[in-house]
Amino acid sequence: MRAVQSERVLVNNSFADDLEAVSSIEAIPNILEVVCRTTGMGFAAVARVTKEHWIACAVRDQIAFGLRPGGELKVETTICDQIRDSGELVVIDHASEDDVYCNHPTPRMYGFQSYISVPIYNRAGQFFGTLCAIDPNPATVNTPETIGMFKLFADLIGFHLDAQERLKLSETALLDERHTAQLREQFIAVLGHDLRNPLNAITGGAKLLTKMALDETAVPVVAMLQRSAARMAGLIEDVMDFARGRLGGGLLLNRAVDGRMEEVLDHVIAEARTAWPHRDIQSEMALSLPVTCDSARIGQMFSNLLINAITHGDPESPIWVRALSDESSFRLSVTNRGEPIEPEIMERLFLPFSRATAGPGQEGLGLGLYIASEIARAHRGVLEVASTSDETSFIFTMPVEQ
């Protein structure tokens, strides 16, 4: 008995992955051994079967059939070809006496009398190939026990092949994630170094100019440079925080018990009054107890909320800032008069790159409120907004101890 001249060594690289996948399943040699010992058949194989090819991926040959892993039979000469089309297993105890296969060319071509072959599918129901066995002598294989064993082994092989495919996808995803992490670090590095350095030079140069004797036309130009540099610095910080929050797993906090919260908030208000000297900002502080928080981040959040109120509020009306701490919570609110926030805008107000329609001088990236909400969330707090025809308020509440 032998694999006739139709057998040839596989040279098609498109099946190399299939050969590797089957050969990497440690149980395959044991499966083929059990198949041969249980049935008394001398040849067993796991085959990759397509419309054009029959490829031996794993082989146990005790009858000198002559087929090795990577060997190929003409698919049209095999019974596995019809199994691929029908999806039904084929079992033959004695080919010469079988009603269906006594005149079939395949048993005569390959010289076998007993034969069994069951299809192998992955979890998605895609056909991979067959688990098959042959022998030149008749054998009793058409029994529930033997058929059940072959089906079980075929399912096991299909499960392993599917698991390997999922593992490859996971490894690919992991590589993509590592690549994304590298891009993230490069992105933050560009913002932190390549953009900040020239901006610091501009800021330093503008500060130096303010100490020099300037004519009347130069003074507003220098002031404009300072405001623009400060705005650019804020945009860079916003984008860096966005990158950390969305690409890096969230904002990092440096929590500590802070009894200087009023000082932090007053400093933000003083900066706003300097930048917008014509705006009326009124504050009311009742901070009786210290707060466990990242005071720098709270200051950043407050600055974003205050700038938002200045930008979108009625310029003729005051802005009210209220801060309160007690035994259970810390509460900070920023309130302004002006047009109410439209419902469709309210739904996406805390999403990145989302903002109300901007007028002249109100352009921005739309990251301020998103970052403010992320700072609130990182403190296990909540940032809410209430907007009516009378006023709009942003209210931050968080537990005092964390």
- What's the pLDDT score for residue 383? 95
What's the gap between Cα 135 and its chain centre? 51
Residue with tokens 């079988």: 98
Find the mean pLDDT for residues 47-74.
Answer: 93
DSSP code per residue over 256-298: EEES-HHHHHHHHHHHHHHHSTTS-EEEEEEE-S-EEE-HHHH
pLDDT above 70 coverage of the chain, percent: 84
And the tokens for 109?
A: 């071509």
- What's the pLDDT score for residue 261? 87
CB contact at 8 A, 149 and 31:
no
Contacts 24+ apart (CB under 8 A), 120-127: 120/46, 120/154, 120/157, 120/158, 120/161, 121/154, 121/158, 122/158, 122/161, 122/162, 122/165, 123/158, 123/159, 123/162, 124/162, 127/49, 127/84, 127/87
- What's the pLDDT score for residue 230? 73
Task: Give 191-236 pLDDT, tens digit per residue.
Answer: 666 667 777 778 888 788 888 887 888 788 777 777 777 767 766 7
The length of the chain in residues reads: 402
Which of 99, 51, 107 shows the shortest CA–CA distance to 79?
107
Give the range among 74-88, 186-200, 375-389 with minimum mean pLDDT: 186-200
- pTM of the predicted model as reported, rounded to 2 decimal places: 0.47
Task: Give 260-288 pLDDT, tens digit per residue.
Answer: 889 999 988 988 888 788 999 999 999 87
- What's the pLDDT score for residue 402? 60
Cα(96)–Cα(138) distance, rounded to whole angstroms?
9
What's the gap between Cα 33 and its chain centre? 42
Give the CB-side neighbour count of residue 102, counting CA atoms within 13 A.
4
Give the range among 3-12, 56-65, 76-85, 287-296 with minimum mean pLDDT: 3-12
